[in-house]
Amino acid sequence: MASFLVARDGSGKVIGAIGVECYGRSALLRSLVVSPGYRNRGLGARLVAKLEARCRSLAVTDLFLLTTTARDFFSKQRYQSIGRGSVPVALRAAAEFTRLCPDSAVCMTKSL
The binding site for ligand COA (CB under 6 A) comprises 32-34, 39-45, 65, 67, 69-70, 72-73, 76
3-class secondary-structure state, position 72:
helix
CB of 67 to ligand COA, least distance (A): 4
Long-range contacts of 11-19 (CB under 8 A, 24+ apart): 15/43, 16/43, 16/44, 16/47, 17/47, 18/47, 18/48, 18/50, 18/51
Nearest CA to 51 out of 25, 76, 21 is that of 21
Smallest separation (angstroms) from ligand COA to the CB of 62: 17
Pairwise CA distance, residues 28 & 41, whole Å? 25
Q: Nearer to ligand COA by C-beta: 45 or 58?
A: 45
State the minimum distance, in angstroms, from the CB of residue 15 to ligand COA: 9
Supply the minimum distance, in Å, between the C-beta of residue 19 and ligand COA. 10
- Pick between residue 47 and residue 60 the one whose CB is nearest to ligand COA: 47
State which residue, 8 or 42, has the beta carbon closest to ligand COA: 42
CA dist., res. 94 & res. 6, Å (int): 22
Q: Which residue is nearest to ligand COA (CB)?
A: 44
